[in-house]
Chains A and B, each alone.
Chain A
Amino acid sequence: MILSIGRRIGVFLLTVFVASLIIFLLLSVVPGDPAQVALGVTATPEALAAQRAAMGLDQSLLVQYLDWIGGLLAGDFGTSPVTNAPIGAELLSRLGITTVLVLCGMAVALIIAVPLGVVAAVRRKRPDGVLLSALSQVGIAVPAFLAGLLLITVFAVQLRWLPAGGWARPDEGLGSTLAHLLLPVVALGFVQAAVISRYVRSSVLDVMQEDYLRTARGKGFTAPEALVRHGLRNAAIPVLTISGVQLGHMLIGAVVVEKVFVINGLGSMLLEKAANRDMLAVQGIVMVVVTAVLLINLVVDVLYTVVDPRLREASS
């Protein structure tokens, strides 16, 4: 099992490396000269050439790549030619905000989706089960920004319980942070809950047909007891897959909610930098997001082997 995890980590590192190559090459063929972007359209050819040399753009692609990747490994994302500020510091703080937002959103989503999906499956033929199932369909159709606007209208504007937007760092007071966090997390979590609960429902429905649940009932467990003892862990496997996929999507997908709640997260940073043609920053952000997604996959893979003993041998 340890061996198989070690191999998965190896595959992860290799994939990150290949991803970095692809990202670098893709962004180097995007039109737009970074030196021109830095100096503006009025720059003289001599100034441009000097700027290129300063930015290392006159070097071969290989040298440029090695410069970039070497910097990344040392934690240096480079200096933005547009703002002349180091990219890494901003990236880190934005990443922190988005990570908190996304992880809390996912937690809310799972807390809602798992019981909802199980109940919808168990009571699929009763009116309440059908209603839950229909509600989750509607939930998938509601865009996160609309959910956010509704929440702001009710809880911030009308009831004035919570701030309508913005962000507070924990050192500015934990209560304030939580207050700012609550609405965006709920907006993000609700929509994800709708998606994930569909998967929970169908996964539980599948498991309810399994012979081992019948065996469990034959041992003397009631139908609900059998489902809890023997069904849920089996049903968790496909839910784990979809949760990993959704988590990856949310990293950038959270940008919509960030915009609505005026939060400076990773997604909004990517939008700003792309609009300003700050390609070095874009490159750094995409690299971070790709690495995060691969890391999520790695964690999901490892969790599979923890949950399912069959995979422990198959992979060793």
Chain B
Amino acid sequence: MTATPTAPPPQAAAPTVRIRDLRIDAATGTLVHGIDLDIAPGERVGLIGESGSGKSISSYALLGLLDEQLSARGDVRIAGVDGNVLDCSDSTLSAARGRIASIVFQEPMTALNPLMRIEAQIAETMLRHRTVPDRRSARRAVLELLAQVKVPDPDRVARAFPHQLSGGQRQRVVIAMALANDPALLICDEPTTALDVTVQAQVLDIISDLVRDRDTALLFISHDLAVVSSVADRVAVMRHGHIVEHGATETVFAAPQHSYTKALLAASDLNAADGRGRLVTVDSAPDSEPGSAPGGSEERPSAGQRPVVAASPHLVLDPGEGGSPSAQVFNPAPSDTVPLIRARGLSRVYPGSRGGHRGEGVHGLRAVSFDVVEGQKLGIVGESGSGKSTLLRIVAALDKATAGGIEVGGTDLGRASRAELRRLREDVAVVFQDPMSSLDPRMKVSAIVSEPLRGVGRAEAAERTREVLAAVGLDDDALTRFPHQFSGGQRQRISIARALITRPRILIADEPVSALDVSVRAQVLNLIADLSDQYDLTLLFISHDLGVVRHVCDALLVMSSGEIVESRGTADLYAAPRHRFTADLVSATPTLKYARTTVVTGEDR
């Protein structure tokens, strides 16, 4: 429909899916404005777009899974389904769903019925379509499927309930369910967005392999260009309900034609920065010639542009020392300075029993020692369960260590009085992950932002609220509005404003951009970097995504199973990770294939 060049699908086979002029309407207006797309058997097509672009609802329309409030028009044919899919009844389509075409949804934590065993949930897909004769053969097939999606110990997983499995394992189960009947078409809607980086890499491999083995047509939906580039042969870029660009992955990524695609590519590339060392955002991205895309040099902007405050040599596991890792102080302050945060042998054991070991407890942190110097921007990286959030809670005095000690700004958190802790909390501010749920929906922005202030007059509070809102780039008219009237990125700005109003010395950011779109992510990262300089903040930036931390931080702590395994300057750590776990993290971080602007990190997989 637009003037973009459309890569013709291979003509050899009839397409598995043929979409013509698909339109989706809501009561408030049209969400998808007529898209065309073909997918041939065995072809892997990526559908890229930000939230609200219409990519997910377009895929739901293919299977008749649209919400009741939405209606679809146009012509959609799926090989094996008679007639236009959009005209089929729910019962006709349900005969095709799960057999001819399957879907894997984004959120593995909620996609499974919590009351049913895994085996029953997978088996019913086959029993429903009678692709297995009886329960016993269904059970055999379930175990085989679980082995194919590489879950450890398929027997145990088959008998488990969903809550007994990790997010990655649940997503594998969902994939096994989707592939149980060898469908001709598999739709994956952001299948790895909720997963850790290393798990994401494994799940992507599984999807790619299984689809290739079965010659399944794949429609892979994601906002993450790097992920799409690792899976898809062909990509379509959606914006505001239009496909704005469409072609072979290599062509689109290496030589994007549409300005939006260029901007999206630039914003996704956390190695790229403009002349002032800032990440490229969708607004600031140049849309002239692709060759001018920034950051093509070998230089690492995060190291080059801003002064590295803690210029001390960061220690690595010293092979000569030979002691246990817990005896080592990571990221130590130079001997002539007093660290702002000083933790020694910090442990946190959660009481309770797990798996029959009564009274042993769960180790959140195991004897961790580290320093943070004033003004340092320290990234803390690890997967879920690595102890990084436990560490955050202890530093912010929201939780207490069960052993070891920590000093923040000279105050011993283990012995501090209530009054001292209250003063400390004004010095330590936290920005949380989810901007949707961390703001009280019934409070006005002015009240939310000024809430942490104590003992400050009304006039001064109002003045300071306006000041921090301006600092995060929001106007005065934001003051009287409620959180739901803002987008995700704006809400995260409000959270940052709230954190800054007490003029803290330490800002803790807990995955502050992992819930945000690519384009917004770059803006918020820039903002955090700018404000850290402007407000002389010491920054602790927690993330599972090395690419994100890399731009903002001078030095990194890498955590695994409650221990710090490595700490060094950001650039060094990337160039040559020493610990096996760090190397895994670096290589699992998806990189933009084909894109010319990318400095490839780690091994290209």
Contact = CB atoms under 8 A, between A and B. Distances in A.
A210 B105 CA distance: 12
Interface residues of B, number: 31
Interface in A201-238: 210-212, 214-223, 225, 229-230, 233-234
A223 B105 CA distance: 17
Given A222-B90, A230-B116, A214 B65 contact: yes
Contacts of B90: 222-223
Nearest to A316: B353
Interface of B: 63, 65, 68, 90-91, 94-99, 102-103, 105, 107, 110-116, 124-125, 128-129, 161, 163, 174, 177-178
Given A230-B116, A309-B115, A310-B163, A218 B110 contact: no
B105 A211 contact: yes
A309 B114 CA distance: 8
A307 interface: yes
A220 B114 contact: no
B105 A125 contact: no
Contacts of A217: 65, 94, 97
29 contacts: A125-B68, A210-B110, A211-B105, A212-B112, A215-B105, A215-B111, A217-B97, A218-B98, A218-B102, A218-B103, A218-B178, A219-B98, A219-B128, A219-B177, A220-B95, A220-B99, A220-B128, A220-B129, A221-B128, A222-B91, A222-B94, A225-B94, A229-B124, A230-B113, A230-B116, A307-B115, A308-B114, A309-B115, A309-B163
Q: Give the residue among B105, B111, B115, B163 with the most A Cβ atoms within 10 A.
A: B115
Nearest to A236: B115
Contacts of B177: 215, 219
Contacts of B161: 309-310
A255 to B, nearest CB: 38
Given A218-B63, A230-B116, A212 B110 contact: yes
A220 B96 CA distance: 7
Contacts of B103: 218
A234 B115 CA distance: 7
Contacts of B65: 214, 217-218
A156 B321 CA distance: 95
Given A211-B111, A230-B113, A309-B114, A218 B95 contact: no
Nearest to B112: A212
Contacts of A223: 90
Nearest to B110: A211
Interface in A167-226: 210-212, 214-223, 225
A38 to B, nearest CB: 56
B297 to A, nearest CB: 44
Interface string A103-143: 00000000000000000000001000000000000000000
A308 B116 CA distance: 9
Q: Which 4 A-B pairs have the closest CB atoms?
A: A220-B98, A211-B110, A219-B98, A309-B161
Contact of B105 (A214, A220, A233): A214
A16 B90 CA distance: 54
A309 B102 CA distance: 28
Contacts of A222: 90-91, 94
Nearest to A218: B103
A214 B112 CA distance: 10
Contact of B94 (A125, A220, A308): A220
B113 A216 contact: yes
A157 B97 CA distance: 58
Given A218-B178, A308-B115, 10 more contacts: A216-B113, A217-B94, A219-B98, A219-B177, A220-B95, A222-B91, A234-B114, A307-B115, A309-B115, A309-B161
A103 to B, nearest CB: 26
A250 B239 CA distance: 58
A125 B94 CA distance: 23
Given A218-B103, A218-B105, A220-B129, A212 B94 contact: no
A122 to B, nearest CB: 11
Contacts of A234: 113-115
Contacts of B113: 212, 215-216, 230, 234
A217 B98 CA distance: 8
Given A125-B68, A217-B97, A219-B124, A212 B111 contact: yes
Contacts of A125: 68
Contacts of A310: 114, 161, 163
B320 to A, nearest CB: 46
Interface string A232-260: 01100000000000000000000000000
Nearest to B108: A211
A238 to B, nearest CB: 14
A204 to B, nearest CB: 15
B264 to A, nearest CB: 27
Contacts of B99: 220
Contact of B112 (A215, A220, A308): A215
Q: Give the residue among A210, A217, A220 with the most B Cβ atoms within 10 A.
A: A220
A221 B114 contact: no
Nearest to A230: B113
A125 B105 CA distance: 27
Nearest to B65: A217
Nearest to B161: A309
A36 to B, nearest CB: 56
